[in-house]
Amino acid sequence: MTFFNFPPEEWISVWTTNIIERLNKEFRRRTKVMETVAGKIACYRILAYISLKMELHWRSNPVGKVRKNLPFFK
């Protein structure tokens, strides 16, 4: 993982940036397979749904939970 190239104090900040990049990648992956969208509002709804699904995943796997389990984050 790229964030290991940074000082340990900055790992969490860099890792959260990776989360944002992951969300954008998921947006592209889900919308790329759609040939057409029924309009602007439909597109916003799709992106909101993807965001909600990702947020639910992040809530069940928070960064703090990872920090407690990995000794190199202490």
Q: What is the pTM of this model?
A: 0.54
Residues 47 and 28: beta-carbon distance below 8 Å: no
Domain boundaries along the sequence of the chain: 8-73
pLDDT at 27: 86
Task: Please give the Cα distance from 41 to 67 (Å, whole number).
Answer: 38
Residues 14 and 2: beta-carbon distance below 8 Å: yes
Q: Which two tokens stand for residue 27?
A: 């947006």
Q: For 11-60, how does the pLDDT look when each residue is reduced to its tens digit (9 = 90+)?
A: 766 666 677 888 888 888 888 888 778 888 888 888 899 888 888 877 77
Higher-confidence residue of 24 and 68: namely 24
Q: How far is CA 42 from the centre of its chain?
A: 22
